[in-house]
Every structure is written in C-alpha cells, then in structure tokens.
Structure 1
Amino acid sequence: MTNAQRLDHVEDELETVKRLLVSTASYAESANRRLDELTIKQDRTQSQLDQLGVRVDQIGGRVDQLSERLNEFVNQTQRLFNQQATVLERLEENQRSNNAALERIDRILDYLLRQQGNSQ
C-alpha cells in the first residue's frame, strides 16, 4: 500500500469518525432535550400531586368536621329521645294515677247515688 493509499484510507476513517461524532453529538442533544422535557413534565406532575395532596387534606378536614357535626347531632338526638322517654314515662304514670283517681271517683259517685236512692 502506498502512502497516498494509506492517507486516503486514514482520511476515510477520519470522515467515518467525524460522522459518528456528529451523530453521537446529535443523539446527546436529543437526549438532553428529552431529559429537559421529562424534567418539566415531572415538575408539573409533582405540582399537581402537591395540589392534590392539599385538596385531599382539605377534604379530610371537611370530613372530620362533618363527622363531628354528625356525632353531635346523634348525641343531641339521643339526649332528646331520652328526655322524651322520661316525659312519656311520667305521663304514663300520671295517666295511671288519673285512671285510679277516676275509678275511685266513679266508685264514690256510685256509692253516693246509691245512698241518695236509699234515702228517698
């Protein structure tokens, strides 16, 4: 192989290396752009997740408030039912007492009417 042929061969190989370097640089730039895009998307996703976390916390707080209010409602309702049960028991006792008193009055009236009928 002559020096000219060797020089042509080296130049060909250098051209191949040059094309490979350009291709590698282009690929690296493309990969960097994609990495930048992915980083931006990841930041957006993280921001959305943070906002979602805040909303979930807000909803959790509202659920806690509603749960407390519901518990208070149940407690107040139970208290009212207990009061009404007590009132109803007293009314039933009064009703029995009134019925007993009416029966006594009825017997007294019968007795008085019989006494009045006997005295005439």
Structure 2
Amino acid sequence: MTNAQRLDHVEDELETVKQLLLSAASYAESANEKIDRLGTKVDEMANAQLTTQAQLGQLSERVDSFIFNTQRLFTQQATVLERLEENQRTNNAALERIDRILDYLLRQQGNNH
C-alpha cells in the first residue's frame, strides 16, 4: 500500500468518524430537547398536582363545614320538634280539660231545665 493509498484510507476513516460524531451530536441534541420537554411536562404536572391538592383541601374544608352545619341544624330541629311535641301534649291536655268543663256545664244546664 502506498502512502497515497494510506492517506486516502485515513481520510476515509476520518470522514466516517466525522459523520459518526455529527450523528452522535445530532442525537444528543435531540435527546436534550426531549429531556427539556419532559422537564417542562414534569413541572406542569407538579403544578397541576399542587393545584389539585389545594382544591381538594378547599373541598374537604367545605365538606367538613357542611357536615358541621348539617349536624347543628339537625340538633336545632330536634329541639324544635321536642318543643312542638310538648306544646301538642299541653294543648291536648287543655282541650281535654275544656271538653270536660263543657260536658259539666252542659249537664248542669240540662239539670237546671
């Protein structure tokens, strides 16, 4: 092999190495762009998770408040119902007394005639 042939062979191999390096650099640049996009997506997902957690916290507080107020209203309604039942018993007793008095008065009136 002559020096010229060796030089051509070395130049061919250097060209091949150059092409491989360009290809590797292009691949690395593409991979870096994808990594950057993935990093952006991860950041977006982290922000979305924080937003979701905040919304869940607010919803939890609202549910707790709703339960507290519902229990308070049930307690108030039970108190009102107890009062109404007591008033009904009192009214029924008063009506029975009035009915007996009316019967007594009607008997008295019938005896006087």
The structure whose Rg is larger is 1
Q: How far apart are residue 103 of structure 1 and its match?
A: 0.7
**Unpaired runs of at least 5, structure 2:** none
Residue type matched to 2:111 in 1?
N
- Aligned identity (percent) is 49
Q: How far apart are residue 38 of structure 1 and its match?
A: 0.9
Question: Secondary structure of the equivalent of 2:24?
Answer: helix
State the Cα deviation string for residues 29-67 of structure 1 (Å, max 9, x = none): 111121012112211210121022112101210111011
Q: Distance in 2 between matches of 1:99 and 1:16?
A: 120
**Unpaired runs of at least 5, structure 1:** 1-5
Please give the TM-score of this superposition, normalised by the length of structure 2. Answer: 0.89
Q: Report the equivalent of 2:20.
A: 27
Q: Report the equivalent of 2:44.
A: 51
Matches within 5 A, 1:3-82: 6=1, 8=2, 10-82=3-75
Q: Report the equivalent of 2:93.
A: 100
Give the CA RMSD over aligned residues: 1.5
Question: Secondary structure of the equivalent of 1:52?
Answer: helix
Residue type matched to 1:73 in 2?
F
Q: Distance in 2 between matches of 1:103 and 1:50?
A: 78
Residue type matched to 2:25 in 1?
N
Q: How far apart are residue 90 of structure 1 and its match?
A: 1.0
Please give the TM-score of this superposition, normalised by the length of structure 1. Answer: 0.84
Residue type matched to 2:63 in 1?
L
Q: How far apart are residue 14 of structure 1 and its match?
A: 3.7
Over 2 Å off, 4+ runs: 10-18
Q: How far apart are residue 15 of structure 1 and its match?
A: 2.3
Q: Report the equivalent of 2:106.
A: 113
Q: Give the aligned length.
A: 113
